[in-house]
Amino acid sequence: MRAPEAGPGAQPDTGPAPTGLHARHRAVLPDWLTLLYERPIELTHGEGRHVWDADGNRYLDFFGGILTTMTAHALPEVAKAVAEQAGRILHTSTLYLSRPMVDLAERIAALSGIPDARVFFTTSGTEANDTALLLATVYRRSNQILAMRNSYHGRSFSAIGVTGNAGWSPTGLSPLQTLYVHGGVRTRGPYAGLSDAAYIDACVADLEDLLGQTAGVAALIAEPVQGVGGFTSPPDGLYAAFREVLDRHGILWIADEVQTGWGRTGDHFWGWQAHAGNGPPDLLTFAKGIGNGMSVGGVVARAEVMNCLGANSISTFGGSPVTMAAALANLDHLLAHDLQGNARRVGGLLIERLRAACAGLRVVREVRGRGLMIGVELVAPGTDEPSPRAAGLVVEAARERGLLIGKGGLSGSALRIAPPLSLTVEEAETGARILAEALREAERGMTAG
């Protein structure tokens, strides 16, 4: 599964020695399994857009278990589907026909936009990306992969090998030869000062130059909006322009939709659709939100790519009857209630409120995003230097006021705001007000410190 979200810049243990469940966690789990907050919290139950901790404190959840609680906590339709399927049979594996798996595969194949699509289910986004890399390298008979700078694709050995964010790359060893392309971060780097059109041209030229120095690249893997990278994204159309170059070289395009899929960006159902000049990607990976908390991931690819494996392959837990039933109920709810449209409307309001609240704050460099996928990049006041300390202060101050958010970006200096897609206007207003207070408190703390 994808790594927890505290990551680089997490607050060190500077207080008293941990006690209770925290102490037990530290005694038996890895040191690198970072926890949010100086005093980590145990979440015990949730409803709608709210969760409660073991001390009875109620929080407005603007992170959804790392963009995974997509529709709502304790959604009745999902809970009912899980209970009913669990009462029939919990597990079969892919060695047997599974009606829920076929039903969901048909729905996702149709929604993907990929012609003659095939779907393979996994248990996480990491495993989905790992599978896509396997398919691409076998199909193209090459282990060379293009990836984006500042990217993140999971915590498996191969996924780390195509992750362009040093804070999430614990080893330089990899089964892949990875070449990193510019373009995922619009407002930093050598092309930041260019217009959108000139920026795309410069990134395409960078790609052309890179391909002129290598041969036989298998695929480009790219997040339409970089998730762990701090919700950064290129101008619309960049990946369409890349696709023209890739097609000339026969290189596949893998769209990592683990965080951007299912309407979260509001304007589109899939993130790749903002770059749709040359049609859908060759492969699309998904996970997180489709299961609404159940472990569901997968890959969609056109048949000739999906069917290229020449050896046996199965999945013990991918396509589990229970997770498939949950995902079907969740997808039905998402579409029936137009949660993509809600993400566009309420997300637009939320980002507007946040931009207004951040105007004049010297600790805020940028408010960016689309739909209910919003990043706030923080810096040391009066500088352009990323500030994980500022992000840590805001995350703590927000929690104290009853709001949960995440972190990401350079050294953990960006706030990540991604509530369930059913967020109401009233909840958006409340969250924006709490964030404004937390940001002002953090700026005071940074200035005083």
Write the pLDDT tens digit of every residue in 293-312: 999 999 999 999 999 999 99
* CA-wise closest residue to 218 among 143, 163, 282: 143
**Gap between the Cα atoms of 63 and 288, Å rounded:** 12
Indicate if 251 and 154 belong to the same structural domain.
Answer: yes
Number of Cβ atoms within 10 Å of the Cβ of 8 = 18
What the block records as the tokens of 378 is: 């923080």
pLDDT at position 278 is: 75
The average pLDDT across 194-203 equals 98
Statement: residue 11 has pLDDT above 60: no
* CA-wise closest residue to 185 among 41, 14, 368, 344: 368
CATH of residue 65's domain is 3.90.1150.10
pLDDT at position 1 is: 39
What the block records as the tokens of 6 is: 């505290």
pLDDT at position 9 is: 41
**Gap between the Cα atoms of 187 and 251, Å rounded:** 27
Indicate if 62 and 168 belong to the same structural domain.
Answer: no
User: For residue 18, what pLDDT band results from cuts at 50, 70 and 90?
Assistant: confident
Instruction: Look up the domain containing 226 and give its range.
Output: 76-336
The overall pTM is greater than 0.75: yes
Residue 209 lies in a domain: yes
- Which residue reads 């494996």 in tokens? 309
Indicate if 92 and 215 belong to the same structural domain.
Answer: yes
Indicate if 202 and 330 belong to the same structural domain.
Answer: yes
Indicate if 331 and 342 belong to the same structural domain.
Answer: no
- In sequence order, the 6+-apart residues with CB closer than 8 A to the CB of 383 are none
Residue 16 lies in a domain: no
The average pLDDT across 208-229 equals 96
The per-residue pLDDT for range 89-119, each reduced to its tens digit, is 999 999 999 999 999 999 999 999 999 999 9
The per-residue pLDDT for range 115-124, each reduced to its tens digit, is 999 999 999 9
**Gap between the Cα atoms of 243 and 282, Å rounded:** 10
Number of domains in the chain: 2
Statement: residue 140 has pLDDT above 90: yes
Statement: residue 2 has pLDDT above 80: no
**Gap between the Cα atoms of 65 and 70, Å rounded:** 9
* One-letter amino acid of 341: G
Pairing assessment for the beta strands 297-302 and 283-286 based on DSSP bridges = antiparallel
Residue 321 lies in a domain: yes
User: For residue 277, what pLDDT band results from cuts at 50, 70 and 90?
Assistant: confident
* CA-wise closest residue to 439 among 390, 370, 371: 390
pLDDT at position 449 is: 57
pLDDT at position 276 is: 81
Statement: residue 62 has pLDDT above 60: yes
* CA-wise closest residue to 136 among 265, 6, 236, 285: 285
Average pLDDT of the chain?
95
Indicate if 48 and 130 belong to the same structural domain.
Answer: no
Residue 222 lies in a domain: yes
User: For residue 193, what pLDDT band results from cuts at 50, 70 and 90?
Assistant: very high
Burial of 207 (0-12, 13-18, 19+ CB in 10 A): buried
**Gap between the Cα atoms of 350 and 151, Å rounded:** 25
The per-residue pLDDT for range 360-404, each reduced to its tens digit, is 999 999 999 999 999 999 999 989 999 999 999 999 999 999 999
The average pLDDT across 313-324 equals 96
The average pLDDT across 317-330 equals 98
Statement: residue 4 has pLDDT above 60: no
* CA-wise closest residue to 237 among 198, 286, 193: 198
Statement: residue 444 has pLDDT above 80: yes
User: For residue 14, what pLDDT band results from cuts at 50, 70 and 90?
Assistant: low
Burial of 7 (0-12, 13-18, 19+ CB in 10 A): buried
pLDDT at position 448 is: 80
Whether 348 contacts 340, CB under 8 Å: no
Indicate if 47 and 86 belong to the same structural domain.
Answer: no
Cα 372 → chain centroid: 12
Selected residue with higher pLDDT from 357 and 17: 357
Residue 65 lies in a domain: yes
**Gap between the Cα atoms of 136 and 428, Å rounded:** 41
| The last residue of a domain, from among 284, 309, 336 | 336
| The last residue of a domain, from among 301, 336, 371 | 336
User: For residue 447, what pLDDT band results from cuts at 50, 70 and 90?
Assistant: confident
Indicate if 327 and 343 belong to the same structural domain.
Answer: no
CA distances, 300 to each of 5, 196, 215, 381 (Å): 26, 30, 26, 44
Burial of 110 (0-12, 13-18, 19+ CB in 10 A): exposed
Indicate if 103 and 130 belong to the same structural domain.
Answer: yes
* CA-wise closest residue to 78 among 250, 334, 257, 326: 326
User: For residue 5, what pLDDT band results from cuts at 50, 70 and 90?
Assistant: very low
CATH of residue 207's domain is 3.40.640.10
The average pLDDT across 169-185 equals 94
pLDDT at position 12 is: 46
User: For residue 7, what pLDDT band results from cuts at 50, 70 and 90?
Assistant: very low
Buried b (16+ CB within 10 A) or exposed e, 176-204: bebbbbbbbbbebbebeeeeeeebbebbb
User: For residue 17, what pLDDT band results from cuts at 50, 70 and 90?
Assistant: confident
